[in-house]
Amino acid sequence: MEVHHHPQLKHNPKPWKEYILEYIMIFLAVMTGFFAESYREHLDEHSKEHEYVINIKKDLVRDTANLDVWIPSLGDRVEKFDTLISYLEVNGTVMEGANMYFLGRLSTRNAIFEPQDNTVLEMKSSGNLRLIRNRDIINGLMNLERSLAEYRNLVDIEEKEDVMSYPLIGKLFNASLFNQMMSKSKTMMQSEMEYAGQSVNLLEKPQGNPQLISQDREKINELIYYLHQRKSSFVGEIRHLARLLKLETDLLDRLNSAYGLANE
């Protein structure tokens, strides 16, 4: 049987220049794709940065507005504590017993300033704080964080002082009158100003001229001590919140300048 063989086809090799050209074209295609993807990621990160900065500004605007309420409210608390202390220092019958009970009930209320820092907390937890490329803005945010930590330390101390006064108030004041002072007709919804002011709108002064149920000078002296300590803590909080207000106001100015947010 005769076997037929296919003829062998001869392939001429490409010129070396064609290989170089193909390599260059592949290289350019890969690099173009890489740069296009990098540019897309850059635009995406820039967009996210701008969105975060807008939200940080909104938080700061709300914070500064709230601080304008809280700082004078704390000053008002200091005055109320001074007045209550003056009532307790008097021997014998107090001429303004209803007001003494009103201030005594208010002294047990603890309201603290809560910063609007959700945006920064979210950025830190997600690792997106790196998107803020302006070092000056990052430093401003870190300064705010340190100032808030100092404020919260003071608040922790003041809350402990508050709790320490509870047993003494229970032994010196008529607790039944405190219960009667709770307003049953007013809404529980509170504005920032009402909350900062210890929700006085939810209390009513008692009738008549009620007095302390005990004239134990040792207990009265101890209560005055804790009221004095809390008052001193309020003064410290005022200083820290005033510093915080300046830091936030300065940071707002820097944000507006660095990102052109004056009209946003």
Q: Is residue 162 part of a domain?
A: yes
Range of the structural domain that residue 57 is part of: 16-259
Q: Is residue 117 part of a domain?
A: yes
Question: pLDDT in tens for each of the 264 residues of the chain?
Answer: 455 555 555 555 666 666 666 667 776 666 666 555 655 655 465 778 888 889 999 999 999 999 999 999 999 999 999 999 999 998 667 899 999 999 999 998 888 888 888 888 888 888 888 888 888 989 999 999 999 999 999 999 998 989 999 999 999 999 999 999 887 655 566 788 777 777 788 888 999 999 999 999 999 999 999 999 999 999 999 999 999 999 999 999 999 988 887 766
CA distance 104 to 257: 48
Q: Is residue 43 part of a domain?
A: yes
Q: Is residue 11 part of a domain?
A: no
The predicted model scores a pTM of 0.78
Domain count, the chain: 1
In the prediction, which pLDDT does 195 show? 72
Q: Is residue 2 part of a domain?
A: no
Q: Is residue 10 part of a domain?
A: no
Q: How many CB atoms lie within 10 A of CB 254?
A: 15
In the prediction, which pLDDT does 127 show? 83
Q: Is residue 264 part of a domain?
A: no
In the prediction, which pLDDT does 21 show? 66
In the prediction, which pLDDT does 120 show? 87
